[in-house]
Amino acid sequence: MDNRWLLYALASMVFAGCTSVIAKMGLNGISAELGLGVRTLFVSAFVFLLVIALVPAREVNALRGDNWLWLGLSGLTTALSWIFYYKALKLGDVANVALIDKGSVVVAMLLAWMFLGEAVTWRMGVGCALIVAGLLVIARR
């Protein structure tokens, strides 16, 4: 089995952690909305450069309507997530905001089980319960 996914996930974790701290520093003196807009311009530029460099044209031509639909909906939920994340980041402590945001793991696990038929093991259930308990501890201060 290809375990590269784990390396990618760990890299994502590290960069996401860096992102929160760097973003909080970048929001100094400006609104969350403006900061998010500037960040999104950079994200778009970097991702499109990646696509240009690595994706063959035949793959771009293979895009179907359902790809556009589901990726478009994913883009909408990403935008909403980022909007609320930046509003929270502007007002709250990075550690609290980032940790509560990671409660999305529980949401993703439940949705993957409901809509994709992915298995939820007892270990995953215990992990979700611990995440929820940690979120409650932090939210109560």
Distance CA 82, CA 21 (A): 14
CA 33-13-44 angle, 5° bins: 40
Which pLDDT tens digits describe the chain residue by residue (141 residues)?
A: 788 988 988 898 899 889 999 999 999 999 999 999 999 999 999 999 999 999 999 999 999 999 999 999 999 999 999 999 999 999 999 988 888 898 899 999 999 999 999 999 999 999 999 999 988 888 776
Q: Which sequence spans correspond to the domains of the chain? A: 4-93, 102-141
Residue 105, token pair as written in the block: 């793991």
pTM of the model as a whole: 0.84
